[in-house]
A and B are shown apart, each in its own frame.
Chain A
Amino acid sequence: MRALIICEHDGKGIRLGSRSAVAFANAVAEETRGSIECVLLGHSLAAVTQDASTYAPVLVADHPALENPVADRYAKVIADVVRQRGYDLVVAAATTFAKDILPRAAGLLGGAMASEVIGHEFRDGRLCFRRPLFAGAVVATVALNAKPQIVTIRPSAYPAASARPERCGVTSFAVDEAALPKKTEFEVLQSKLSNRPDVTEARIVVSGGRGIKNSEDFERLVGGLADRLHAATGSSRALVDAGITPNAFQVGQTGKVVAPDLYIALGISGAVQHLAGMKNSKTVVAINSDPEAPIFEVADYGLVGDVYELVPQWIARLNGK
């Protein structure tokens, strides 16, 4: 199969999740004696192109009109690339960027799409995907009935591709500005700069729930422990709703899906919607004052107690006291 990876980037390099998408595409290409290419959309892409070309041959759609990731424009360019160059498979990492843009591209390209893929296999030569349903309680095996097949993959399910020894070729893709949709105007991205790693990219995630009473306590307990462990901070929906943590922290069915080596849940009850976002973590630790909390069922190690007592003690141990 000929696969196209839609690479997400930050203006400097491609995101770790996109390297997982490359790994998935590589695996399918190898199994089908196919090939892969990736496409970059944006403006002033020189540095990103350099980076991307260490993983796969690159197509670059570089244009001022693509400065910001506006769904109607990006989907149109992706559909043009796919129609002109003919791909069997279009893939991206399952982030809000891809969740916004890829289904729209799929709408322009015949509608065969599987989201949040966590595995794949061939059955009688046919590519099949595994994906979670019902907040991860069930896994479905699905197949797509039209070409191109469009998928988003969960980065946690595919280890990131490593760099190739030699750089791959770069081709530019001409963007016809006149043909781009003009009904959406990008105003601003208000991102809260954090000096901690992103929850989806960290090896260790420390997450807080309603057991944490306010922002100061969150910063002191969850943030404090995270910093000692070089970890990312996450939270349940309850804290996001309470305005204690930003949206980008929410782990769960309708937030981010993480699978770090270690997930530490502090004062989180373990609702199915939360578990959907963290249950594939390698090791799970839970601290909760309620011995009956469901989080203990999915934790490798459970400690019954008050986070307000235990977390400061843990931080003190890490400080060598």
Chain B
Amino acid sequence: MKVLIPIKRVPDTDQKIQVKPDGSGIVTDGLPFVINPFDAIAVEEALRIREKSTDTVEVLAASIGPEVCEQQLRTALAMGADNATLIQCDASLDPWNVACVLRAFAGRYQPDLILMGKQGVDDDLSQTGQMLAALLDWPQATFASKIEFLGSGLRVTRETDAGLEIVRVTLPAVVTADLRLNEPRYASMTSIMKARKKTIERITTTELGVTIEPRLQLLGLEAVPSRRKSVRVGSLDELLVKLRAEEKLL
């Protein structure tokens, strides 16, 4: 079985994000980047599938973007992915573009399962997996918190607003990972060293026959200032007085 894990490079979630003065983007100088946390969960799940399976399972990590995305692919390799491909592209990409590139790539690689993060923690769009499933005409199971193999398909527990939903999908399928699917492992120093020596395949979006036509156009960014009163109250009674008298609440 072949499992494809698309990897997005995103700013470290602990970092403070600053907008460029002209609003055209964020300040990236000195900003550390990581694998999108949800994609790391997808990598971990693929590794667990491989560890538990009696068949051979191949885990391929693929990232679309400029050369720097190699760093995140190295992290995926250090975690234990078998192979990695960098799909080279310098243009900025929206979910539709990523889905189109991944469809073309899936056409070559022929995975049985595409396991990906439920959203990027940078743009929080949560679209790519679903769009990709539509383009491939595969079933999807989004926001997965548990994945079980059942004969020729999967039984997936999904986290929804209404509670946990269980669906069965046939393979091939697209599954997107939620936070509680697992806790990703840290790569050991030895595996990080080993991952440095692995070759990362390269292919361009042009070679895949995809032209990048953005659907979601960014017009500008603004930082959001906090406009809170930030009053420290000394006691519960003072708090209740404020809420009742000033906020007309309770």
- Asked if A142 CB lies within 8 Å of chain B CBs, one says yes
- Give min CB distance, A239 to chain B, whole Å: 12
- Inter-chain contacts of A314 with B (CB < 8 A): 236, 240
In-complex Cβ contact of B218 among A140, A183, A284 (8 A):
A140
On chain B, the residues within 8 Å of A184 by CB distance are: 139-141, 167-170
Q: A181 vs B138: C-alpha distance in the bound complex, in angstroms? A: 9
Q: A279 within 8 Å of B by Cβ?
A: yes
Q: B96, A72: Cβ atoms under 8 Å?
A: no
Chain A residues, Cβ within 8 Å of B118: 254
Q: Which of A128, A185, A186, A192 has the most CB of B within 10 A?
A: A185
Cβ-based interface call for B124 (8 A): yes
How far does the alpha carbon of A253 sit from the alpha carbon of B119 in the complex, in Å?
10
A142 to B134, CA, bound (A): 23
Q: Which of A102, A105, A247, A299 has the most CB of B within 10 A?
A: A247
Which chain A residue lies CB-closest to B142?
A100
Task: Known A104-B133, A300-B228; judge A112-B243 contact (CB<8 A).
Answer: no
Residue pair B161, A256 in contact (C-beta under 8 Å)? yes
Whether the Cβ atoms of B95 and A273 lie closer than 8 Å is no
Residues 93-152 of A contacting B (Cβ, < 8 Å):
95-97, 99-108, 110-116, 123, 128, 132-146
Q: Give Cα A104–Cα B19 distance, bound, in whole angstroms.
A: 31
- The size class of the interface chain B forms with chain A is 35 or more
Binds A, one of B10-18, B48-56, B74-82: B10-18
Q: Does B7 contact A (CB under 8 A)?
A: no
A276-296 contact mask (Cβ, 8 Å, vs B): 1 or 0: 000100011100000000001
Q: Are A262 and B243 in contact (CB under 8 A)?
A: yes
A70 to B145, CA, bound (A): 17
Given contacts A96-B159, A144-B217, A145-B217, contact A190 B132 (CB under 8 A): no
Q: Do A296 and B232 have beta carbons less than 8 Å apart?
A: yes
User: CA separation between A298 and B228, bound complex, in Å?
Assistant: 6
Tell me whether A299 and B230 are in contact (CB under 8 A): yes
**B236 — which chain A residues lie within 8 A by C-beta?**
303, 305, 310, 313-314, 317
Q: Is the CB of A137 within 8 A of B159?
A: no
Q: What residues on B are CB-neighbors of A302 within 8 Å?
A: 230-233
A76's nearest neighbour on chain B, judged by CB, is B134
**Beta-carbon contact of A96 and B224 below 8 Å:** no
Known: A138-B19, A187-B155. A114 touches B216 (CB 8 A): yes
Q: Is the CB of A141 within 8 A of B219?
A: yes
A297 and B230 contact, CB distance less than 8 A: yes
Within 8 A of B (CB), among A183-223: 183-192, 198, 200, 204
Across the interface, which residues of B come within 8 angstroms of A284, CB to CB?
228
**Contact A187:B250 (CB < 8 A) given known A301-B233, A317-B236:** no
A237 part of interface (Cβ distance < 8 Å): yes
A107 contact from B122, B132, B180, Cβ within 8 A = B132
For chain A, the bracket of interface size reads 35 or more
On chain A, the residues within 8 Å of B164 by CB distance are 189-191, 247
B1-25 contact mask (Cβ, 8 Å, vs A): 1 or 0: 0000000000101001101000000
Provide the residues of chain B in CB contact with A246, threshold 8 Å: 163
A175 within 8 A of B: no
- Cβ contacts under 8 Å, B128 to chain A: 103
Q: Is the CB of B134 within 8 A of A191?
A: no
Complex partner residue of B95 from A71, A113, A133, CB under 8 angstroms: A113
Instruction: Assess whether A136 is in contact with B224, with CB atoms less than 8 Å apart.
Output: yes
Q: B57 on the interface (CB 8 Å rule)?
A: no
Q: Which 4 A-B pairs rank lowest in CB-CB distance, beginning with the nearest?
A: A107-B134, A111-B96, A191-B163, A107-B131
8 more contacts with CB within 8 A, not counting A189-B165, A299-B230, are: A72-B140, A75-B130, A95-B161, A103-B134, A123-B219, A132-B224, A187-B166, A189-B166
Sample 20 A-B pairs with CB under 8 A, ordered by A number. A71-B142, A72-B140, A100-B160, A101-B130, A107-B131, A107-B133, A113-B96, A116-B124, A134-B122, A140-B218, A183-B169, A184-B141, A189-B164, A190-B163, A198-B161, A254-B179, A283-B249, A296-B232, A302-B231, A304-B232
Q: Tell me the B residues contacting A by CB distance below 8 Å.
A: 11, 13, 16-17, 19, 26, 38, 94-96, 99-100, 118-119, 121-135, 137-143, 145, 155, 158-170, 173, 178-180, 213-224, 226, 228-233, 235-236, 239-240, 242-243, 247, 249-250
A residues apposed to B, CB below 8 Å:
70-72, 75, 95-97, 99-108, 110-116, 123, 128, 132-146, 181, 183-192, 198, 200, 204, 229, 237, 240-241, 246-248, 253-254, 256, 261-262, 272-273, 279, 283-285, 296-305, 310, 313-314, 317
